Amino acid sequence: MKKFRFLILPFILFVSACGWFKSPPEIGKVLSEHFKNKMYKDFDTVAYDSIFVKTMDSLSGNFINPKTIKAFYSNNYNQPKLITHFYINGELDSLVAYLNKSEVHGFNPKIFKGDEIKDLLTELTANKFKKVEESYPVIARLELLSANAYLNYTNYLKYGVVNPRNIFSRYYIKVGRPDSAGMLKLLDGNNLVENLKSAQPKSVQYKALQSAYLSANSESEKRILLLNMERFRWQMPATGDNYVQVNIPDFRLTWLDNLDTVISMKVCVGGKRENGYEEKLKAFAKSGNLDDKPKNHETPLLFSKINSIQANPIWNIPVSIAQSEIYWMARKDPFYLSNSNIKVYYKDKLIGEPDTINWNRYSRDKLPFKFKQGSGGGNALGKFKFIFDNSSSIYLHDTNNKNGFNLTNRAISHGCVRIEKPLEFAELLVKDTYTYDKLRAEVDLPPVDSTHMKWYQKRMAQKADTLKTFQLKPAWFAPKKNVPLIITYITAWFQNDKIEYRPDVYGMDEKLWAAMKKYR
């Protein structure tokens, strides 16, 4: 039975291909009827196949998706399917029109070879071949260039020309990318023009940036608009209608619900990496000396969901900060640690008197200690920490240094995002007066609902009891539901009937522009 199945499969494939191998094949019939030229009835599939393979070999080295294109034609016995289906009805001419107008999206039409496709269409339409075999190179080249241009054009508009995860080291958002299954389906589709139409970006933001680009006179302004048009082509994860966005160049957090702003506030984000970071990193890789290690506190771009709130948080001080800052402060001032409410652990055991540690005995690159800053007013995280899953140990948090929010350039943190209105943000997350009043009590604030006053009074009595040692501890609260959060990087966008522009604080525009140049 198994042997029979193996025998029947090639038979099925052969039968499915009979339309190509019979005389004349479909392309021969189509062209013969269209041109009223019997010559095409002599279309030789074997001779054409030889030409097609040579043409594929000569062109595929410049294709972006050569394996997919080869697979499509291999599965279809190298039939010129695009010409067969879309030449007579004029849809290949429509493809050329879309390609040649691609400058409205900031592309150079030459990258799609629209003019060559048009010339090939003109040559085929002229119908001046004396022998049918003279048409084979034209048909093969027209077919392959059209397929490549069709895929590239639709992919660029639907997914962008650049994969940001390939050029940015701290880009952790999983953007959608074209796959072979989708491209094969596209090539095998029945309506080329509808697919071209559906590929056009439809978001309000994209269209506004595009309109501004087409009317801009300054090359520098056009460049910024193009870069952000590209960002809005990237297929971002679905946030839903209710989500929180942190835009790094804007230094602002915005909570959106059906495009309405629930709350907006200033934020402080991670500081820009050192100038010459890449070269300095290479030097550090060779020396291994921490003095050669360049600073990079840039906040990563990511997508997650806020899943918990910590009141009176403990700060688990990262190794990098311990080495670059805490170590030196402790050497300089023996009482720095206790005055800053920083506890020191050795092999996960608390050291009772950290002020007695002889720091001269330890090099900072081999510190055997862990450091934690306890809850309280001096804690660098302030009174609240907002947690979401991510691989960079990044979170939103309050701060005990509010002066940073008065700065124009607020790229000053170690990587986490400091938010201006943590209490209001917490209230919106819990969406429940009972839970919110519990949270307020933890940070010594009276309840909103007077019937909850007992919690507050009990807590204040505990703190005031001199016979007992009151220890401030973190308290955990859950949001009403997890809220999507996206930390992104946009330097131009549409808002209040105009385009807003922001400085390229991390130099990401420069890097993106370098990757996009070949498409201009």
Cα gap 225→353, rounded to integer Å: 57
User: Is 397 noted as a catalytic residue in this protein?
Assistant: yes
Residue with tokens 């016979």: 467
DSSP characters for 446-472? --SSGGGHHHHHHHHHHHH-TTS----
Cβ–Cβ under 8 Å, residues 460 and 361:
no
DSSP characters for 133-166? GGGHHHHHHHHHHHHHHHHHHHHHHHH-SS-HHH
In which order are the strands placed within the sheet that holds 315-316? 315-316, 369-373, 342-346, 349-350
Residue ranges with strand state E in 39-142: none
> Is residue 196 helix, strand or coil?
helix
Cα gap 145→114, rounded to integer Å: 9
Element (H, E) at 387: strand 384-388
Cα gap 433→450, rounded to integer Å: 11
**φ, ψ at 263 (rounded to 5°):** -155, 150
Q: Which of 249, 254, 302 is nearest to 420 (CA)?
A: 254
User: Is 18 noted as a catalytic residue in this protein?
Assistant: no
Cα gap 203→500, rounded to integer Å: 17
Identify the active-site residue in 85, 105, 297, 397.
397
DSSP one-letter code for 373: E
Cβ–Cβ under 8 Å, residues 417 and 268:
yes
Identify the active-site residue in 297, 414, 416, 452.
416
Cα gap 516→520, rounded to integer Å: 7
Q: Catalogue the active-site residues.
A: 397, 416
